[in-house]
Amino acid sequence: MGVAVEPWQTAEIPGPKKALAITNPQIVVSLIKRSKNPIMVVGHKAAEAQLENGLLIEYIIRISERAGIPIVSTPSIQSEFIKRGFSRVVGMPLVDIANRLADPEWTGIEGKGAHDLAIFIGFTYYVSWLILSGLKHFSPQIKTVSIDMHYQPHASWSLPNMSLSDWGKNLEVLIEGLEVK
């Protein structure tokens, strides 16, 4: 089966520089392991998307815990993390998150320095499109990865367009790859 690496919304034209397609979730594992200060940026759909083995937010928590990545979420979803006993999350409006990621002087969510890798998940397609476009054009120092189920051409790396079932399987492989061995 071929990998669809065109924008999910066909009228959207990203320009000459497009995201590299993640054909194997181990690519994301490698990006995370090589990163000095990664961050996950999570949107409201994390508490809504039901995958085969639970809600998307549960997958995100497992990724964060295994990789030791802090999460910054939109304020509307922060309480969903806290309800699940996960406290390594900061709530912040998405535009503020993007502005801080674009600021080379920002010391990061935990004060450890600028983030070099931002992983996006759980946003409406067009919202991610806009935020990732801004980061692509104004923050070349940060690598961005979209692990949502639709290809995001403005990210540095993106999962291709896929079904809900395939998306869950890819996230499971990612989680397994992050296990300490």
Q: What digits encode the pLDDT tens for the residues 118-136?
A: 999 999 999 999 999 999 9
Band of pLDDT at residue 1, cut at 50, 70 and 90: very low
pLDDT of residue 13: 65
Domain range spanning residue 155?
22-177
Question: In this prediction, what percent of the chain has a pLDDT beyond 70?
Answer: 91
Distance in angstroms (rounded) separating the CA atoms of residues 49 and 33: 27
| Tally of CA atoms within 13 A in the half-sphere of 30 that contains its CB | 6
Residue 140 has pLDDT above 60, yes or no: yes
With 80 as the cut, is the pLDDT of residue 5 above it? Answer: no
Residue 54 lies in a domain: yes
> Can you read off the two tokens belonging to residue 42?
């999570």
The structural domain count of the chain equals: 1
Residue 7 inside a domain? The answer is: no
**Residue at 71 is within a domain:** yes
Query: Which residue in 143, 133, 164 sits closest to 45, CA to CA?
Result: 164
Q: Which residues of 114-148 are buried (b: 16+ CB within 10 A; e: fewer)?
A: bbbbbbbbbbebebbbbbbbbbbeebeebbbbbbb
Asked if the structure places residue 119 within a domain, the reply is yes
pTM of the model: 0.91
- Cβ neighbours for 33, distance < 8 A, ≥ 6 positions apart: none
Select the more confidently predicted residue: 82 or 3: 82
Mean per-residue pLDDT, 132-148:
94
Whether pLDDT at 20 is above 90: yes
CATH number of the domain at 77, please.
3.40.50.1220
